[in-house]
């Protein structure tokens, strides 16, 4: 039985800057972690199967086209080994072809809801600074956790991989701005698993230094999506200001407060105003009151799927490279595998294949045409403990060159309302 052990990577001390807290994790080139998975067969109430063999059989689908967790360290110029399971790299990983199930470790785990093994407070990484919406999402997902701010999304992934954090809570889509593509790419690049989701209403405020009036402002700074989500309201307020993009909403508030900028306002949460001593010039300035961001909870190992509550499963796949314009037919066949079993899709999105972005197709009539190759991200409402989900993915494998289950996890069924309390 393989065991999971943390890498021995030395963790660099974060460098304090005038506009960032000293304890915030910053981006530092780190060697890739080599993670393995361990088998766990302890039965749980509501979980599928009561024995190790039952659960291994249930998870066979998850193993059939998983690529290796090892990554090339491009900075050191290391060469890939000659293992038969290693093929071309895609988004930092190898092996896109079918790998026999018996040659792979079973992706089994225990339920991850209890406190971490070290007995300390649960540590949850998020992108941004204190007061960010991601921090609020981390607190909603894991009440009472120790939130660890990271300056980049990838640093949050690395924090979990290197055991600096136990979980990460990161945004994947917004009801107005759409998907956060960077995190979808990172889900494919890193070997973390989605173990839950949380939806957070977004309540924007216009913040400035105490005593500053709106007519004194010459610019407004915030995250690009926040600026776009408040565009019409800012116009209605009669503000003749320039709008400048910033890394994140709370970071913009911190920047205004730290540099004592009396001509600049920030769009952020009410909690950010409290943390950085700013006043709220305008409350609830988002153009749409139904502005909600969906976050996913990430862990080093997956959770055992269950059938006693609604589950969602996230996958990513690439259709078979078929000539003669059959790529569309393959996608149709993949989607039909879910339709025939009455499995509802809640999301489908394509992303260009990073390491194989262009496919050349020869056509005698029109010459040489270039087509993008895509990875498809799909969320569907079913648990991997259900036979219909297992059978659907078994059929999907027949029409894909690559398939990976990102996670099978409980759906966020908590009702929400737009209120100031959502920011805290």
| Displacement of CA 260 from its chain's centroid (Å) | 34
Instruction: Name residue, tokens 């894991």.
Output: 142
295 is catalytic: yes
Q: Which of 68, 233, 264, 293 does the annotation list as catalytic?
A: 293
Q: In the Cβ-directed half-sphere of 161, how many Cα atoms lie within 13 Å?
A: 23
Q: In the Cβ-directed half-sphere of 17, how many Cα atoms lie within 13 Å?
A: 12
Distance from the first to the final alpha carbon of the chain: 43
Kindly provide the b/e burial profile for residues 37-51, where b requires at least 16 CB atoms within 10 angstroms of the residue's own CB: bbbebeeeeebbbee
Determine the Cα–Cα distance for residues 402 and 176; give it in Å rounded to an integer: 31
Kindly provide the b/e burial profile for residues 312-331, where b requires at least 16 CB atoms within 10 angstroms of the residue's own CB: bbbbbbbbbeeeeeebeebb
Report whether 243 contacts 234 (CB < 8 A).
yes
Phi, psi of 423 (to 5 degrees): -85, -10
Pairing of strands 146-150, 178-179: unpaired
Report whether 92 contacts 72 (CB < 8 A).
yes
Instruction: Name residue, tokens 């003669």.
Output: 324
Helix (H) or strand (E) run with residue 251 in it: helix 249-259
Report whether 117 contacts 108 (CB < 8 A).
no
Q: Which of 67, 153, 295, 376 does the annotation list as catalytic?
A: 295
293 is catalytic: yes
Pairing of strands 167-174, 146-150: unpaired
Report whether 269 contacts 230 (CB < 8 A).
no
Residues that are catalytic:
293, 295
């Amino acid at each position: 039985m393989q065991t999971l052990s943390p890498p021995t990577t030395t963790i660099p001390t974060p460098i304090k800057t005038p506009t960032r807290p000293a304890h915030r994790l910053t981006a530092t080139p780190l060697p890739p972690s080599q993670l393995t998975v361990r088998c766990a067969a302890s039965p749980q109430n509501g979980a599928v199967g009561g024995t190790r063999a039952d659960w291994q059989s249930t998870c066979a689908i998850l193993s059939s086209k998983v690529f290796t967790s090892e990554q090339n360290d491009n900075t050191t110029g290391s060469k890939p080994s000659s293992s038969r399971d290693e093929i071309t790299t895609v988004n930092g990983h190898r092996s896109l072809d079918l790998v026999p199930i018996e040659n792979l470790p079973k992706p089994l785990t225990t339920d991850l809801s209890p406190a971490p093994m070290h007995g300390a407070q649960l540590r949850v990484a998020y992108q941004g600074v204190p007061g960010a919406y991601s921090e609020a999402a981390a607190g909603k997902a894991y009440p009472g956790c120790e939130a660890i701010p990271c300056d980049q999304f990838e640093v949050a992934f690395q924090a979990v991989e290197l055991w600096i954090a136990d979980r990460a809570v990161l945004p994947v889509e917004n009801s107005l701005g759409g998907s956060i593509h960077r995190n979808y790419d990172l889900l494919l690049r890193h070997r973390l698993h989605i173990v839950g989701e949380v939806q957070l209403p977004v309540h924007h405020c216009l913040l400035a230094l105490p005593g500053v009036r709106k007519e004194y402002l010459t610019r407004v700074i915030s995250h690009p999506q926040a600026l776009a989500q408040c565009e019409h309201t800012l116009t209605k307020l009669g503000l003749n200001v320039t709008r400048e993009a910033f890394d994140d909403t709370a970071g913009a508030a911190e920047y205004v407060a730290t540099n004592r900028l009396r001509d600049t306002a920030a769009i952020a949460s009410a909690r950010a105003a409290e943390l950085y001593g700013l006043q709220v010039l305008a409350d609830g300035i988002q153009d749409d009151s139904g502005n909600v961001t969906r976050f996913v909870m990430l862990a080093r190992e997956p959770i055992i799927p269950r059938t006693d509550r609604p589950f969602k499963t996230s996958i990513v796949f690439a259709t078979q490279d078929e000539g003669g314009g059959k790529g569309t037919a393959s996608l149709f066949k993949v989607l039909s595998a879910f339709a025939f079993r009455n499995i509802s899709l809640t999301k489908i999105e394509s992303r260009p294949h990073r390491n194989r972005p262009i496919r050349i197709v020869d056509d005698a009539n029109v010459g040489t045409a270039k087509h993008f190759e895509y990875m498809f991200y799909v969320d569907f409402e079913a648990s991997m403990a259900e036979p219909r989900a297992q059978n659907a993915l078994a059929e999907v494998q027949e029409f894909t060159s690559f398939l990976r289950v990102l996670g099978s996890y409980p759906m966020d069924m908590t009702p929400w309302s737009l209120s100031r309390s959502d920011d805290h």
